[in-house]
Chains A and B, each alone.
Chain A
Amino acid sequence: MGGGGGSLGREPKVKRGSFATKRKKKKRVGFVLDMTPLVDIAFLLLTFFMLSTTLTTPQTMEMSVPPETENVEVKQSELLTVLVRDDGQIFKYMGDKNTEKPMKVSVKELRAVSVTENMRMENKLIMSLRISPKVPYDLVIKVLDELNIAETEITQRLSAKGMKRERKFALTPMTPEDVEDLKPL
């Protein structure tokens, strides 16, 4: 800071508040604190913490299984079965499999299927999800995700009608019968 410039700027200040500024410390002209090392260290730490923080926190998807003692009897007419085969193909059928032929659906269609069937049955529908043990976990989550999205839509639509959503889908083990049924499809 130039000494001449400093003194020029100070002149009117002293005049303006001559009484009040008496106790104030005079700003030292030409005093410079070299902040470069401070800034260096600050930025070093800043970059370290910026890079070490993970911004993507994992999320969760809640699931529940019925307790062991509970054994729910289901009417066949109220049952929608969704099957996921070894190769990842998804099939669904409503009610009795002897009268209804399993139909192929895609992961994307599953949401619409769940919503329409649940709305048709109005809370009475029970969805049984049977997944083959060989299906990759990735697909399982995709299917569950679609059904969860459908669930929020169903809850919304039912509450618009003044009803409370009660039944959800259940994961049930795949039977050897199911495997046989799916083979020719």
Chain B
Amino acid sequence: MGGRIKKKRPGFYLDMTPLVDIAFLLLTFFMFTAKFKSDTENEQKFKITRPVASADTSKLPDKDLATIKIGIDSVTGDTSYYYSLSNETDRKIVYSSDKVQIPDEMRQKVILKVDIKNLEALLRQTRMANIRMRFAIDADKRIAYKWIEDLMEAMRKSNATVFNFVTDRQN
């Protein structure tokens, strides 16, 4: 075995400077573009397979965003509404509202599992807390339209008449 090891050539030197330059350039680029998992995603116990739509749609904003997720629980297979807000200050106000009937230990969470009645109350409170809030519906593509129809009715009632469907880009 020892015989196969190449003798290190004395005085051989490979200039790695350009390599290091490029490596660090790419490293800084990826470090700055990296987006880490938000609190919402950490608490989420289901995975959403989004439907695809053609291009020419706009991107989702980062702040002032209320997301209504309709997901299918991967363990129980139940469909439910999940509500989350991007701003922490709004979250505190809206989640602690007495108009929303949820158990107190749930109010500390980032993402709330709610029924349609509480969702409507949440939407209304959100509208009151922050008028610039935008609404996004992030639903699994397998769910029935009934869930969307009920949600749209709730949004109409709480005056959140403009909203966005979250989709994936078509390849």
Contact = CB atoms under 8 A, between A and B. Distances in A.
Interface in B134-171: 136, 138-149, 152, 155-157, 159, 161-169
Contacts of A68: 156-157, 159
Given A56-B168, A60-B136, A64-B162, A49 B30 contact: yes
Interface residues of B, number: 55
A56 B166 CA distance: 13
B75 interface: no
B26 interface: yes
Nearest to A62: B164
Given A35-B16, A49-B31, A65-B156, A60 B60 contact: yes
A59 B51 contact: no
Interface stretch (B17-25, B87-95, B104-112, B121-129): B17-25
A90 B57 CA distance: 24
A56 B169 contact: yes
Interface stretch (A101-109, A134-142, A159-167, A175-183): A134-142
Given A32-B13, A133-B146, A141-B51, A60 B167 contact: yes
A131 B59 contact: no
Given A63-B165, A67-B156, 18 more contacts: A39-B19, A39-B20, A46-B26, A46-B30, A52-B34, A56-B169, A57-B59, A57-B60, A58-B138, A61-B57, A64-B162, A66-B156, A67-B161, A133-B146, A135-B145, A136-B143, A137-B51, A137-B70
Interface of A: 1-2, 32, 35-36, 38-39, 42-43, 45-46, 49-50, 52-54, 56-68, 131-138, 140-142, 144-145, 148-149, 152, 171, 173
18 contacts: A1-B11, A1-B13, A2-B11, A35-B20, A36-B16, A38-B20, A42-B23, A45-B27, A58-B166, A59-B57, A59-B59, A60-B60, A62-B163, A68-B159, A140-B145, A140-B148, A141-B141, A173-B149
